[in-house]
Structure 1
Amino acid sequence: MKRLAVDILVLVCIGSMLGVAQDDHSTSSLQFLASTERAFARVCAEKGIRASFLQFFADSAVAFFPEPAKYKAAIKNRPIPANPLAMSLEWEPQVGGVAASGDLGFTTGPSIFIDNTAEGNPKYYGQFFSVWKKEKDGTWKVVVDIGIETPTPASPLGQPCTEIPEESGREESDALSGEKRDAILVKLESEFGKACKSEGTAQAYLGRTDSYTRLHREKLLPVVGVDAIKRYLANELRVASWSPMGGDVSAAGDIGYSYGSYELAPSHNSDPDEKGYYLHVWKCNKRGEWKLVVDVAKPEPPAEQK
């Protein structure tokens, strides 16, 4: 969304129905979430980036600068733009999903950041990924927002929001305790890291990839699907490791996310040659297998790489 704008502005890497079949429930919940995302974009066009982010972000929402930080706290003491529409941002959700429990969801799609102060109103393209959580009053709020810059539009605006094709097989009533949900996330990230060391990074990713899996990397178009990811990782010989800083899992235990820092090193015991920050979103399929929905990586600026 917005995330590309957040990078450029240095502000931030700038929608339930019950008693129906699971597929209908999932679809209607996603369309409600997508309508919330579109309302977010409309408010941004009317009031500006900062005001819209403050309205649609949860109080504890995390954005990337590129390091993860709580957005509202990070901008609290920053001057309010004299012209809130000097920089504009357009985006829309084109792919998404909502947990069977209806409490956690995600959206992704293309974004266009426009500098209205420069000659020719130059445009910068991006791809956002947002994790949303339903609050106690039933409203959806963004809890994690991250984006990448892309060389060209990843897809044109004006598309519907479609659901990723894999259903979890879990029901809305399949609520898990907070302790069990935390254990799921710890296990997922721990096993992923171990697999990178024992199997190699490419094979570890492919074992957790499905037709809907996306890799978002700076200055590249999204890499989507098993074959595309396999080609992208064919020459990736470095060992990846992650250090989670936060995350959450839906009450139904079918969607979860983790964010934190990452390192890429030439070998197990060598110093990393790339450091940065990541977002992983996971989804459990009907077979009980957890697959990546997205892996977003935002490297630290070169001057900060040590």
Structure 2
Amino acid sequence: MLHLLRTVAACAGLFLLASQAPAAPPATPQQAVDALLAADRAYAAASARTDLISGLSAMFADDVVMPVPGNRFARGAAEVRDYLRSVPDNAKSRLEWAPQRGGISADGQHGFTFGYMTLHKPDQSTQAQKYLAYWIRRNDSWRVVVYKRSRSNAAPAQPAPLPPALPAQLAATPADAAHTQEYARSLDQAERTFSDTAQRIGLGPAFAQYGSADAINLGGPDDAEVVLGADKIALAVGAGLAPGTSPVTWAPDEVIVAGSGDLGITIGFLQPNAGAADTGRKPVPFFTIWRRATTADPWRYVAE
């Protein structure tokens, strides 16, 4: 009965969230990212009152993409829910989280957040997790279109919010398919060049070269907090590799980019190189969030 009451209350909260009248368009980049972070926190608050499946599904767009076990992507809200339901504990678990940073595109329509989560299991135990989400604002409502979460062996002690990733100013961008297609092409090429560079100079140095100074990587289970900064990310991904080598190549299968051309995401698979130590490895799904100050600047990854 208690579980049922929690579910009903959470559903009511989610309905209220979805049915609120649209707010006035934000006037500044800070206001825009604050609205995105507020949406993330509202979904988190509703999730804390219901089961994991309902909590996560409420914020997903119909075309959401999420890497899942089995070295694959679940595509679409229905397939993502099917995966979540396939884990028996999820229907009896709760998930709560708090964003630590947000970023926004210059047109105010695309954004990203990352943060830390706590999974409350049916046996009353908890597990620390991290998440990364790419959002698009549709019909005056933020929805997640690409998402992943990963486990941590320990929760961060006192995580401090990080400064947001903001454009210099907001600017309404008229719908222009030709420009958007060109922005997507340039981002696709940036990801491919990133991989090509890794084959020439090594995986770690390439991550240092193509990342922004404030980039984050969710890290592994032993990382209670995200890895912050391209140089530290480079050290982490390049650890144990011979200089000038990369065990993987990669390229995007899909690119999503804001109409303003300054924020986007690439989605694809890491392919093991023939000379890698473990040649039995399967392709691994990845996605990378990129941004740039203006459309004349080079793309740099900001979150992965």
Equivalence map 1:77-92=2 (5 Å)? 86-92=92-98
Cross-structure match for 2:61: 58
Displacement of 1:187 in angstroms is: 1.0
TM-score normalised by structure 2 residue count = 0.77
Aligned to 1:255: 263
Gaps of 5+ in 2: 1-21
Q: Which amino acid aligns with 1:289?
A: P
1:225 maps to what in 2? 229
Confirm whether residue 37 of structure 1 aligns to residue 40 of structure 2. yes
Q: State percent identity of aligned pairs.
A: 19
Q: Cα–Cα, structure 1 residues 241 and 155, in superposed 2: closer, same or farther, change >3 Å?
A: farther
Q: Residues of 1 paired with 2:129 and 2:118: CA distance?
A: 6
Task: Look up the match of 1:245.
Answer: 253
Q: Which amino acid aligns with 1:62?
A: V
User: Is 1:99 aligned to 2:105, yes or no?
Assistant: yes
- The letter of the residue matching 2:249 is S
Distance 1:151 1:106 in 2: 24
Deviation at 1:38, TM superposition (A): 0.8
Render the CA deviation track for 1:15-73: whole Å, top value 9, x for unaligned.
976584xxxx2111111011101111111122322223332111111122132112522
Counterparts of 1:76 and 1:209, CA distance in 2: 35
SS in 2 for 1:193: helix
Task: Say if 1:227 and 1:258 are closer, same or farther in 2 by CA, change over 3 A.
Answer: closer
Cα distance, 1:178–1:227 mapped onto 2, change above 3 Å: closer
Match of 1:68 in 2: 73
Say whether 1:114 aligns with 2:114: no
Q: Is the 8 A contact 1:126 1:149 kept in 2?
A: yes
Written as runs of structure 1 = structure 2, the 5 A alignment for 1:283-298 is 283-285=291-293, 288-295=297-304
Q: d(CA) in 2 for partners of 1:63 and 1:267?
A: 29
2:131 equivalent to 1:128: yes
Q: Which has the higher helix share?
A: 2
CA displacement, residues 250-269 of structure 1 (integer Å, 9 cap, x when unaligned): 11000110112112437489
Match of 2:155 in 1: 153
Equivalents in 2 of 1:44, 1:253: separation in Å? 32
Change (3 A) 1:170 1:207: farther
* Residue correspondences, number: 271
Corresponding letter in the other structure for 1:202: G
Structure 1's 90 and 203: CA in aligned 2 closer, same or farther, altered over 3 A? Answer: same
Kindly provide the amino acid, as one letter, of the partner of residue 107 in structure 1: T
Q: Which amino acid aligns with 2:263?
A: I
What is the DSSP-based 3-state SS (H/G/I as helix, E as strand, rest coil) of the residue aligned with 2:77? Answer: helix
- Match of 1:198, SS? helix
1:79-104 C-alpha deviation (Å, 9 max, x unpaired)? 69999872111101111101001111
For structure 1, the 5+ residue unaligned runs are: 1-14, 296-306
Q: What is the alpha-carbon distance in structure 1 between the residues aligned to residue 33 and residue 292 of structure 2?
A: 17
CA contact (8 A) 1:192 1:204 kept: yes
